[in-house]
Amino acid sequence: MIFDYIQTTEEQKDILDIARQICEKELLPQVPELDRTGTYPRDVAKKLFDAGLYALEVPEQYGGMGVSHETNFLLAETLGYYDAGFGFTFHAGSMGAECIFMGGTEAQKQFAANELLNGKTFAFCLTEPACGSDAASIATTATREGDAYVIKGNKCFISGAELADYFVVATTIDRSLKYKGITLFLVEKERGVQIAKHEEKMGIRLSPTNEVVFDDIRVPADHMIGAEGRGWGIVMRNMEVVRPTSMNFATGIAMRAVDEAVNYAKVRTQFGQPIIRLQGLNFLLAEMLERTMVSHGALMNIAHLLDHGMPLNGMGSATKIYASQTASWVASKAVEVLGGYGYMREYPVEKLMRDAKIFEIFEGTNQIQQVVLGAMLSK
């Protein structure tokens, strides 16, 4: 397995071994049917939670393990290997609360930590039907009424919404203010949040994606995260962590694709020999491994920068582009290595190709990341 090439500490190895054991036994046998039906396996999530693998990033001062970004990245990569949709959603349940730890009050941080450590999940609500890359155009409003705010608007493509207990919602207090009007709120599902359309997706089908409706939801003023008009800064800091974390699931896809292609090439015989001995194919497999390992290394570098509080200076955008493109390319080549069999649902590689595509789109499209890099060059 490609995991044999990954260097870890003993603590990291213990965490990853537990994750692999649970995924091998409990998740992998279910994946074809779960992919067909578009179902999130709550039973597997519960086993990972019981094993202590949920919300590992909760800071020690609030009762969590406070693991490093490197460890979190490695766990995401491992879960992505077995199923990126499941892994992304399992991880997103805690990453949705990241804005609270970045910009909330001490009381909010302790509350979020307690809820996470008890298995509760948070969904981050930013994207809207008419507002994707242009986040300044948020139309969901928060109107002050006495000691509360009334939230009204629709969010779309929200990962894990139907599983969430809480929502971190990006709103605007005044659309004319653009970014300076964006304000974040913590909203409990029980306040009347409506989980609307369940999206039928091409890939990551184990990850539920929904439209979420906030129809005059009244929340206390102390549910505001940060201050009025300060939400955009928190969102950007959050994305600096969430974006590269998510790309580890893409690298997990690439790792699985390499393993599936190599395993097939070792047993498939043509012209009297295993096809892995054919130089042209062997070189292709080597390039698949090469790109995957570079993607892994780039993400570990991002983890190092985050763990040491150092600025990413464009590395986040560049790595997002490379890791997502690598996953799509490697998965596509794995399909080609398997030939006609690779195109059939009986084999897992066509699913890997479907799952990989989303990573070029969400968490800021690759084109938007190029805009960011281009702007750096233009200064």
Domain presence at residue 1: no
4-25: average pLDDT = 95
177-204: average pLDDT = 97
Last residue of a domain, one of 118, 147, 164: 118
Give the pLDDT of residue 133. Answer: 77
State yes or no: is 363 an active-site residue.
yes
Residues 245 and 370 in one domain: yes
Give the pLDDT of residue 132. Answer: 76
Last residue of a domain, one of 68, 102, 118: 118
Contact, 207 vs 360, CB < 8 A?
no
β-bridge partners, 151 = 142, 217
Which has the higher per-residue pLDDT, 6 or 145? 145
Which residues form the domain of 84?
Answer: 10-118
The confidence band for 211, taking pLDDT boundaries of 50, 70 and 90, is very high
Residue 249 burial by CB count (10 A; 0-12/13-18/19+): exposed, middle or buried? buried
Residues 349 and 283 in one domain: yes
DSSP string, 2-60: GGGG----HHHHHHHHHHHHHIIIIIGGGHHHHHHHT---HHHHHHHHHTT-SSTTS-G
CA distance 363 to 371: 14
CATH for 21: 1.10.540.10
- Residue 319: pLDDT above 80? yes
Helix (H) or strand (E) holding 153: strand 148-159
Give the pLDDT of residue 136. Answer: 78
Alpha helices in the chain (DSSP H): 10-22, 31-37, 42-50, 69-82, 84-95, 98-103, 106-117, 231-267, 279-307, 315-338, 349-357, 366-378
CA distance 332 to 125: 31
The confidence band for 96, taking pLDDT boundaries of 50, 70 and 90, is confident
Task: Tell me how crowded residue 143 is: count the other CB atoms within 10 A of its CB.
Answer: 14
Give the pLDDT of residue 31. Answer: 98
Paired sense of beta strands 209-220 and 273-274, if any: unpaired
The tens digit of pLDDT for each residue in 258-310 reads 999 999 999 999 999 999 999 999 999 999 999 999 999 999 999 999 999 99
105-131: average pLDDT = 96
Which member of 70, 128, 350, 363 is catalytic?
Answer: 363
Residues 363 and 258 in one domain: yes
CATH for 354: 1.20.140.10
- Residue 18: pLDDT above 90? yes
Give the pLDDT of residue 3. Answer: 74
CATH for 163: 2.40.110.10
